[in-house]
């Protein structure tokens, strides 16, 4: 456990201010807080791999609120909470009093009496998901200040319209362990590219999260998309600013081939154009089903113009040594497998399939780290106590 003790000492040296705070956007967190989350996640993984129990709570709720479908993130949140000893309670709005006019302020307090963390996924409406999470946070602050809540639960963003921090942070930890260190990422080229999908309306938060986080580590980040498929302008500004501060590079191109050239890492992922998501949000709010169907028809026709934006064996040959690391948040649209034509050729995906599973496997630990740092003032002390406790995860 020598490596574990080194991690604990490194965590101890990081100045953070995360207790009773939410983890909403990576670019709102300091460099020390990003590193603390990464290192706490690694420490928790080491403890579990070593057979140690990491249950910090013997009671308490973790509320899971998913306003969109999910597999990996839903189970990662449940796994993370179980790892720390919390009981997960799904908040199903359809079974709540929201339909009867219950406000966000009221709901937030009613579900939080004995709650330690609230995980929220709200990525359907552009301009709404992040705003909703902030509204819940303000309600929790009010409830705690007024003595209604004995503690102020931490909110973890499990994906919103702007960022997907648990995904981006898990991706970062995967890269760190692939290349050996965070410093080794400096100068590495990552191609975050749009890719064709036979569906539309996919959130912008994954590419925005990637360009917003990887530019902080001195990486050469190249964002590629067809004309008209831009991201939220503010997120592009964040990436540019981060690259300047870190000594890295951020560039936007309109060619998948250009982005793949000499890339160390490729991340081909479909998303909807920024302006389309704005229109879609307006139609969703008006319950305009006819308008939504017409928008979908238009968007699918436009997507079809760019079927060549597929991660193929030919494009992979353009990468550094023809051996770039393929990444994806999953599920990928695999040509000839999950769809006729999609984001990635079946042979490419199959070659990196296990790597994408490993990539996803870091997410429970990242979420657990976000929770731990949001609840405990001295994470190094807490982790050290878990190791000294010596309690086995399985058995006596």
Cα pseudo-dihedral 279, 285, 290, 292, rounded to 10: 40
Of the chain, the percentage scoring pLDDT greater than 90 comes to 89
Query: Binning pLDDT at 50, 70 and 90, where does residue 99 land?
Result: low
For residues 18 and 212, what is the distance between their CA atoms, to the nearest angstrom? 20
For residue 194, CA distances in Å to 27, 63, 219, 378 come to 22, 33, 19, 41
Query: Which two tokens mark 347?
Result: 């042979």
For residues 207 and 330, what is the distance between their CA atoms, to the nearest angstrom? 13
Pairing of strands 115-122, 87-90: unpaired
Which residue, 156, 393, 394, 161, is CA-closest to 272?
161
pLDDT higher than 70, residue 345: yes
Neighbouring CB atoms inside 10 A of 144's CB total 17
CATH number for the domain running over 2-163+363-389:
3.40.50.1370
Q: Are 39 and 7 in contact (CB under 8 A)?
A: yes
For residues 347 and 316, what is the distance between their CA atoms, to the nearest angstrom? 11
Of the chain, the percentage scoring pLDDT greater than 70 comes to 98
Question: Would you list the domain boundaries of the chain?
Answer: 2-163+363-389, 166-360
Query: Binning pLDDT at 50, 70 and 90, where does residue 266 land?
Result: very high
pLDDT higher than 80, residue 395: no
pLDDT higher than 70, residue 396: no
For residues 387 and 392, what is the distance between their CA atoms, to the nearest angstrom? 10
Q: How many Cα atoms within 13 Å fall on the side-chain side of residue 216?
A: 19
Fold match, 2-163+363-389 / 166-360:
yes
Return the HEC string of the chain: CHHHHHHHHHHHCCCCCCCCCCECCHHHCCHHHHHHHHHHHHHHHHHHHCCECCCCCCCCEEEEEECCCCCHHHHHHHHHHHHHCCEEEECCHHHCCHHHCCCHHHHHHHCCCCEEEEEEEECCCCCCHHHHHHHHHHHHHHHHHCCCCCCCCEEEEEEECCCCHHHHHHHHHHHHHHHCCCHHHCCCEEEEECCCCCCCCCCCHHHHHHHHHHHHHCCEEEEECCCCCCCCHHHHHHHHHHHHHHCCEEEEECCHHHHHCCCCEEEECCCCCHHHHHHHHHHHHCCCHHHHHHHHHHHHHHHHHHCCCCECHHHHCCCHHHCCEECCCCCCCEECCCECCCCEEHHHHHHHHHHHHHHHHCHHHHHHHHHHHHHCCCHHHHHHHHHHHCCECCCC
pLDDT higher than 90, residue 259: yes
pLDDT higher than 50, residue 390: yes
- For residue 200, the model assigns a pLDDT of 85
For residues 378 and 171, what is the distance between their CA atoms, to the nearest angstrom? 26
Mean pLDDT of the chain: 95
- What's the whole-model pTM score? 0.96
Q: Which of 214-223, 285-294, 355-364 has the lowest mean pLDDT?
A: 285-294
- Options 3.30.540.10, 3.30.420.40, 3.40.50.1370, 3.90.850.10; CATH of 166-360: 3.40.50.1370
For residue 124, CA distances in Å to 22, 55, 112, 114, 278 come to 20, 34, 24, 29, 11
Query: Which two tokens mark 283?
Result: 């139609």
pLDDT higher than 80, residue 148: yes
pLDDT higher than 80, residue 138: yes
pLDDT tens-place string over residues 37-95 = 999 999 999 999 999 999 999 999 999 999 888 899 999 999 999 999 999 999 987 76
Torsional sign, CA 262, 163, 239, 126: positive
- For residue 393, the model assigns a pLDDT of 85
With vertex at residue 160, the alpha carbon angle to CA 154 and CA 162, rounded to the nearest 5 degrees, is 115
**Between 217 and 389, the higher pLDDT residue:** 217
């Amino acid at each position: 456990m020598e490596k574990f003790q080194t991690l604990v000492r490194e965590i101890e040296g990081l100045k953070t201010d995360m207790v009773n705070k939410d983890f909403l956007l990576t670019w709102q967190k300091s460099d020390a807080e990003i590193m603390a989350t990464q290192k706490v996640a690694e420490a928790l993984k080491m403890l579990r791999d070593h057979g140690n129990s990491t249950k910090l709570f013997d009671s308490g709720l973790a509320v899971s609120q998913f306003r969109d479908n999910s597999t990996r993130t839903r189970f990662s949140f449940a796994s993370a909470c179980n790892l720390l000893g919390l009981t997960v309670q799904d908040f199903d709005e359809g079974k709540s009093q929201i339909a009867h006019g219950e406000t966000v302020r009221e709901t937030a307090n009613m579900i939080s009496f004995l709650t330690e963390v609230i995980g929220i996924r709200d990525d359907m409406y552009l301009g709404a998901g992040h705003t909703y999470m902030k509204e819940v946070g303000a309600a929790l602050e009010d409830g705690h200040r007024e003595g209604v809540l004995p503690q102020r639960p931490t909110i973890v963003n499990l994906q919103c319209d702007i960022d997907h921090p648990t995904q981006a942070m898990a991706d970062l930890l995967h890269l760190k362990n692939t290349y050996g260190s965070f410093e080794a990422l400096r100068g590495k080229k990552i191609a975050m590219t749009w890719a064709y999908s036979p569906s539309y309306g996919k959130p912008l938060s994954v590419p925005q999260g990637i360009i917003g986080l990887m530019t902080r580590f001195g990486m050469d980040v190249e964002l590629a998309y067809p004309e008209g498929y831009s991201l939220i302008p503010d997120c592009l500004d964040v990436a540019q600013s981060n690259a300047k501060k870190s000594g890295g590079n951020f560039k936007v191109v309109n060619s998948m081939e250009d982005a793949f050239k000499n890339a160390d890492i490729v991340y081909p992922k479909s998303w909807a154009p920024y302006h389309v998501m704005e229109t879609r949000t307006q139609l969703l709010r008006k319950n305009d089903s006819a308008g939504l169907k017409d928008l979908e028809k238009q968007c699918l026709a436009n997507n079809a113009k760019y079927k060549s934006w597929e991660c193929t064996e030919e494009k992979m040959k353009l990468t550094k040594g023809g051996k770039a690391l393929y990444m994806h948040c999953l599920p990928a649209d695999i040509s000839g497998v999950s769809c006729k034509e999609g984001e990635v050729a079946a042979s490419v995906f199959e070659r990196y399939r296990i790597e994408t599973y490993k990539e996803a496997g870091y997410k429970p630990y990242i979420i657990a780290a976000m929770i731990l740092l949001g609840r405990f003032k001295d994470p190094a002390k807490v982790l050290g106590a878990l190791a000294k406790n010596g309690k086995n995860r399985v058995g006596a």
